[in-house]
A and B are shown apart, each in its own frame.
Chain A
């Protein structure tokens, strides 16, 4: 396994290559900066709709050919649209690299959008939207994002709005393509049993003619900074189990201290022996499940610590415990001996990730996208080891300050008001 390297084609397309000759497999990913912030206000969901259209055929390859050709070599392909980017990815036998790049280049440069295909795919994306709406868990997460992101594009659903999807035309999709799908707004990552020189030659051959359209200069609209609202909120969401959360405001991803942030999140919430999990779940028995997650986004993110509990009871006690954990951490700083332990867990995770070229490709891509460069993925252990207690304390002081903190009480939509009474009754009867 060799360190990843990069090069940039004359058209501005950046390419990251990670050679790994352990097995004859490769993974390709193309990341396009096309998400909710890039959608016209009356065409919500167009980024995701367009992603579907990318599988509907290009000039050289018919509507079913992209998937069929990758399937034929034993590979798999898919794509995903999230808040900030859209990512296309596949795994395949390394010997098929030339064919894969030819397929990818043709759809990125010469996609065919026909009214007939748009009509069928519109039905598909509407079914997908309905499906997520009918699953209470996914509906709850989307409701949560809507409430926290109110007033910012991040509060919008990447799946879009029914009325906008119904109104989207071929011309809208074409305009979106010209604005977002251009070499200056994308980068590619290739990991696996490939050689840099071959990749460079093939990328030049297949993607060399891709050009930013003239109107693309300055095409990215200014997006306001996303700031998690401070204070306290009580939300009725379609979860079945009540929960609490502390949501801390993060800076835009380009400005954040990622190594310190990852270590702080791990020190507080990674593993059953971390303070958040151990105190809420094991020691105080206030929650049945607890943890922490970091949402790193272009325009501002969120660090979330949460706990779900059963039977329904007082949110206040759980929030107070979370507050106490965070405040003590900010005041005392992390115990030095915990650093090595948490970094070792990162080492284990990174080692395991090396089994899969897809995981390495995704890790490199994610670091390139939100952490300031793909090298951060490979330097993660060195960067973590360089984090000092003082850096963690400073970060905690900023994140856990009241003006950067939202305390959330999550109440299930479906009322089970009788549950606490039933619990009390059972306790009385048992005594």
Chain B
């Protein structure tokens, strides 16, 4: 295993409470900056998922006094990007440009941040674009299942289970989105500035400070995380009569970012289903039996609750056999643990992979900022990484037992109900949901 280090990130803690992170890489003539302020999709009211996304879209149209088309033309003329986004728990506002245009582009960026145009003239277009995208997206069974599992595990409206959809976009009005956008960015609260690329750490920090100074002196009060409201029925079946496979997800409580056992938990998830072709589930379900093209598990780490999910698909007539095999594999892991060979592979990959993944300033800074949000500074992240080769089988097995728990998972599936119902009988009450029912109508 390599003795290399993770890429270095300079961290500056500002007197106002903001954190500046700089990662300098001078061989590629590109600079980027991203401002992150608390809020984002956490600001979506329960009835209106998509509000924050539309607020960010309004910010994207440029500053007051500039025609949105002219704004875009100026940026594209410099091959630059200025973009605003509503992420799970923060707003992101940033730019990326060639080094030669840094001065001009950072001025344009500041004008969009400090005096947003919130152009009403663009509203209908922005909404329609999202209606069309949502219509396409919700027609894909794999997209539906991705949203179904968190809603089943946490209840619609929980920050990790609050998908937007066609009707929710249609109900959002300009005034609400503009109000949210106007107050989105400020210098108070948990504010991060990420600066990376062809810039020195000192110049990067100075650029970030210029942005901080220009920000209004405010910060959003974020709502407390609501209690999870898992569904009463352990099986949700979205009746899709026009497909011949069952797309499904098995879910149960996950972990939160910064968990003290995070390294062992990540390794355990890798060996269960997160490690692609080498995971136990992939090996037994696909490679040995050919039940499916792909099966995987995900153990997201966020500050808010997020479920652990195992997802896959197979022919409807094969569903019972495949679910029973998954149950057996999970029971074997829970009771017998992993092999030393499996652990060795997981440790080697996880330790070797991280430096390969951190190959550009943006990824490196996202990694570092994600750590800080979870209370882990860059030194702690490096120590976590260094601890991977020494992780014991006992710790990994204990983590797996924690992930799998008592082995009782909620099951959500998109499949033709007439054929699928018999395949899932015996797994508890089944709630059949018509295909096309919006997520706010899914049972709780």
Interface residues of A (CB under 8 A from B): 1, 22-25, 55, 63-64, 67-68, 71-76, 91-93, 119-125, 127-128, 130-131, 134-137, 239-241, 271-273, 278, 281-283, 285, 288-289, 308-310, 341, 344-345, 347-348, 351-352, 354-357
Contacts and interface: CB of A to CB of B under 8 A. Distances in A.
Nearest to A355: B360
B76 A271 contact: yes
A355 B28 contact: yes
A357 to B, nearest CB: 8
A127 B141 contact: no
B359 A347 contact: no
B142 to A, nearest CB: 6
A127 B135 contact: no
Interface stretch (B34-42, B180-188, B283-291): B283-291
B356 A91 contact: yes
B313 interface: yes
A136 B140 contact: yes
B135 A241 contact: yes
B214 interface: no
Given A68-B345, A351-B98, 14 more contacts: A67-B276, A71-B348, A74-B355, A75-B356, A120-B287, A123-B290, A135-B140, A272-B69, A273-B73, A288-B128, A310-B128, A310-B132, A351-B28, A351-B29
Interface string B3-31: 01000000000000000000001011110
Given A25-B359, A74-B356, A137 B139 contact: yes
Given A74-B348, A74-B352, A344 B132 contact: no
B351 interface: yes
Interface string B136-173: 10011110000000000000000000000000000000
Contact of B293 (A131, A278, A351, A357): A131
B131 interface: yes
Contact of A289 (B129, B141, B288, B289): B129
A423 to B, nearest CB: 11
A127 B314 CA distance: 7
A63 B278 CA distance: 12
8 contacts: A22-B25, A64-B278, A67-B276, A240-B136, A271-B76, A273-B77, A344-B79, A344-B98
Contacts of A131: 142, 245, 293, 313
B68 interface: yes
Given A72-B345, A135-B142, A240-B139, A128 B293 contact: yes
B349 A72 contact: yes
Nearest to A123: B290
Given A71-B278, A74-B356, A273-B69, A282 B125 contact: yes
A127 B98 contact: no
B99 to A, nearest CB: 9
B289 A120 contact: yes
B2 interface: yes
B315 A130 contact: yes
Nearest to B362: A355
A131 B351 CA distance: 33
Contacts of A241: 132, 135-136
B76 A341 contact: yes
Which of B68, B77, B245 is packed against the most chain A CB atoms within 10 Å? B77
B72 interface: yes
Contact of B139 (A91, A136, A283, A288): A136
B275 interface: yes
A72 B348 contact: yes
B2 A93 contact: yes
Contacts of A308: 132
Contact of B68 (A22, A128, A239, A282): A282
Contacts of B30: 348, 351-352
Contacts of A73: 348-349, 352
B313 A127 contact: yes
B244 interface: yes
B353 interface: yes
B438 interface: no
A134 B243 contact: yes
Interface string B334-369: 000000000011001111111110011000000000
Interface in B103-132: 124-125, 128-129, 131-132
B70 to A, nearest CB: 9
Contact of A310 (B79, B131, B344): B131
B290 A347 contact: no
Contact of B125 (A22, A240, A285): A285
A230 B315 CA distance: 40
Nearest to A337: B77
B359 A345 contact: no
Contacts of A75: 352-353, 356
Interface in B280-327: 283, 286-293, 313-315
A273 B359 CA distance: 31
B125 A67 contact: no
Contacts of A271: 72, 76
Interface string B253-296: 00000000000000000000001111000010011111111000
B78 interface: yes
B356 A345 contact: no
B135, B290, B313 interface centre (most CB from chain A within 10 Å): B290
A240 B245 CA distance: 20
Nearest to B198: A351
A74 B353 contact: yes
A294 to B, nearest CB: 19
B76 A345 contact: yes
Contact of B245 (A74, A134, A281, A288): A134
A217 to B, nearest CB: 37
A285 B276 CA distance: 44
Contacts of A272: 69, 72, 76
Given A137-B140, A310-B135, A127 B69 contact: no
A304 B349 CA distance: 41
Nearest to A24: B4
Which of B79, B131, B287, B356 has the most C-beta atoms of chain A within 10 angstroms of its own C-beta?
A: B356
A306 B69 CA distance: 20
A25 B356 CA distance: 7
Quick one: which of A1, A272, A278 has the most chain B CB within 10 A?
A: A272
A357 B283 CA distance: 29
B292 A127 contact: yes
B139 to A, nearest CB: 5
A278 B68 CA distance: 11
Top 6 A-B residue pairs of the complex, sorted by shortest distance between their CB atoms: A74-B352, A123-B290, A355-B360, A348-B79, A128-B293, A273-B73
B333 to A, nearest CB: 18
A119 B290 CA distance: 8
A355 B359 contact: yes
Nearest to B348: A72
B359 A356 contact: yes
Nearest to B275: A71
Contacts of A135: 140-142
Nearest to A92: B356
A348 B102 CA distance: 13
A431 B136 CA distance: 30
Nearest to A354: B28
